[in-house]
Structure 1
Amino acid sequence: MPRFFCPTQLSPGLMLHLPPGPARHVQVLRLQPGDMIQLFNAGPGWDQVGVEGGEYSARITEMGRSHVEVQVGSHMAIERQPFVDVHLLVGMPANERMDWLVEKATELGVASIQPLMTERSVVRLTGDRADKKTQHWQSVAIAACEQCGGNMVPIIHPVTTLPAWIRGMETVGPALTSHWVLSLRDGSTPLRKIASAHAEVSMSKPSVFFLSGPEGGLSGAEEEHALLAGFAAASLGPRTLRAETAALSALAMFAI
């Protein structure tokens, strides 16, 4: 059944004109009145205002050239997120690899992604260009969430630098339980050990932040800065992984 992210309050029996994005998608799929779809509304900006999570059935009642009306059906309290809220802080990889990372991270259930400009970053984004890229990546995340069955669209934060993010670490909230930098240094904690420890945490939903670099990794100074700020070193094993693969490997440990 086709699924659509509908960022508005939903309730059984509600007659609703779909927002422009989902409406266009319904028309592209050539759905007709009477067809059934699924709607979910948990995502950026909707975690506090009348959002129950899960998903809703809906029946298309009317279609016009520029609008689609549906009647919202029953609510299903289905949770498909990992047992830990995983947040990725990623030095942006070049070319289309960031799109790929956002898509695959969403499929694996990431809670948020923070694109970072680091010392070795090839991609440099500021101003309107940065804003447009962030909006684009948020759209990629929405499409991936619709496709994979997820009910929570991850937040794609505005592009920033690593020092700026570290300065604002106090604002990430009390749910933060641990933060790690992916590292090749000796003595780093194996990722499997980290995942096992979080699985045993009594909190209903612990959170973990993983920091990874772009092509070439974080510089030595950046890694030291993160460690001094309270990060601990985490190991992905003996192999050197590509920038996008490293971040996804960390996330995948918590996705099953």
Structure 2
Amino acid sequence: MPRVFCAEALAPGERRLGGEAARHLQVLRLQPGNALTLFDGHGGEWAARVTRMGRSEVTVDVEAHAAVEREAARALHLIVGMPANERMDWLVEKATELGVAGIQPVITQRSVLRLEGERAAKRLARWQAIAAAACEQCGRNRLPRMAAPLPLEAALRSGPAGRRVLLSPQPGGRPVREAAGPAPVVSLLLGPEGGLTPQEEGAALALGFVPAHLGVRVLRSETAALAAAAQLADY
């Protein structure tokens, strides 16, 4: 059954869907009477049925709410030096599927991708749309928190309380699952292409981050983020 994200809060009754939600249903060629599932990111999902297909809008009848959750056991927040080109898009999509609770892109000394102002706002909107589409596909009813890019120093001093882990190829760290332990909330920091500088890693350690590794091989930043997410989200 098709699943569609609705950016506005849902309630029983008739609802007109526009924008991406309407385009999604039009691409699927749904017809009046067809059933679908809607979710608004506030938890649970809604049974619905198409009542009218228009050119720019789709009208649906929103029916019963089901308190269904498919979130990971642990709230994992990625603080990630943005990889260049389309790799950040891919990271957002796959991290959402793996159950990551939040993604904070950061700008570091070795970052290739640097976003500010209007460019940053447009890219953030793109990432939010990618996360919503990934939730439609994987069954999540809550979107991960997708934050605007920040300088690394600002990101290190913000974020949720909980265990803080620095993923680094430098010797001395523990395996990432061991470093995270059983903490219900974990923030995981990793650098972009080229990694973090020694000074940046030192600043993270001074703020309570615990060094960790994924093994003997050096992975690309987006691969490392997803490998760690697969280990940590459903601990």
Asked if Structure 1 and Structure 2 have the same fold, meaning a TM-score greater than 0.5 normalized by the shorter chain, the answer is: yes
Provide the residue aligned with 2:165 in structure 1: 180
Report the count of equivalent residues.
Answer: 234
2:218 is aligned with 1:240: yes
Query: Residue type matched to 2:114 in 1?
Result: R
**Retained in 1: the 8 A contact 2:50–2:58?**
yes
Q: Hey, what's the Cα distance between the residues in 2 that align with 1:76 and 1:223? A: 44
**What's the offset of the Cα at 1:227?**
0.5
Q: Hey, what's the Cα distance between the residues in 1 that align with 2:68 and 2:168? A: 36
**Retained in 1: the 8 A contact 2:75–2:233?**
no
Structure 1 runs not aligned, ≥5 long? 43-50
**Retained in 1: the 8 A contact 2:100–2:229?**
yes
Provide the residue aligned with 1:19 in structure 2: 18
Q: Hey, what's the Cα distance between the residues in 1 that align with 2:96 and 2:56? A: 29
Report the secondary structure of 2:232's partner residue.
coil
Q: Hey, what's the Cα distance between the residues in 1 that align with 2:179 and 2:35? A: 42
Provide the residue aligned with 1:107 in structure 2: 97
**Retained in 1: the 8 A contact 2:124–2:146?**
yes
Q: Hey, what's the Cα distance between the residues in 1 that align with 2:55 and 2:194? A: 50
Query: Residue type matched to 1:15 in 2?
Result: E
Provide the residue aligned with 1:127 in structure 2: 117
Query: Residue type matched to 2:192 in 1?
Result: P
Provide the residue aligned with 1:38 in structure 2: 37
Provide the residue aligned with 1:6 in structure 2: 6
Query: Residue type matched to 1:184 in 2?
Result: P
Residue from 69, 79, 88 that aligns with 2:69: 79
Structure 2 runs not aligned, ≥5 long? none
Query: Residue type matched to 1:160 in 2?
Result: L
**Retained in 1: the 8 A contact 2:45–2:141?**
yes
**What's the offset of the Cα at 1:241?**
0.7
**What's the offset of the Cα at 1:64?**
1.5
> Could you report, residue by residue, the CA deviation over 1:67-122 in whole angstroms, capped at 9, with x for unpaired residues?
11111122222111110111101101111111110110011011111111111111
Query: Residue type matched to 1:215 in 2?
Result: E
What TM-score do you get using the length of structure 1 for normalisation? 0.87
Provide the residue aligned with 1:253 in structure 2: 231
**Retained in 1: the 8 A contact 2:165–2:179?**
no
Provide the residue aligned with 1:118 in structure 2: 108
Query: Residue type matched to 2:83 in 1?
Result: P
Query: Residue type matched to 2:163 in 1?
Result: S
**What's the offset of the Cα at 1:40?**
0.8
2:144 is aligned with 1:159: no
Deviates more, 1:158-167 or 1:208-217: 158-167
**What's the offset of the Cα at 1:136?**
0.8
Deviating beyond 4 angstroms after TM superposition, the runs of 4 or more aligned structure 1 residues are none
**What's the offset of the Cα at 1:9?**
2.1
**Retained in 1: the 8 A contact 2:76–2:233?**
no
**Retained in 2: the 8 A contact 1:82–1:254?**
no
Q: Hey, what's the Cα distance between the residues in 2 that align with 1:32 and 1:244? A: 40
Q: Hey, what's the Cα distance between the residues in 2 that align with 1:152 and 1:194? A: 27
Q: Hey, what's the Cα distance between the residues in 1 that align with 2:115 and 2:7? A: 27
Query: Residue type matched to 1:240 in 2?
Result: V
**What's the offset of the Cα at 1:193?**
1.8
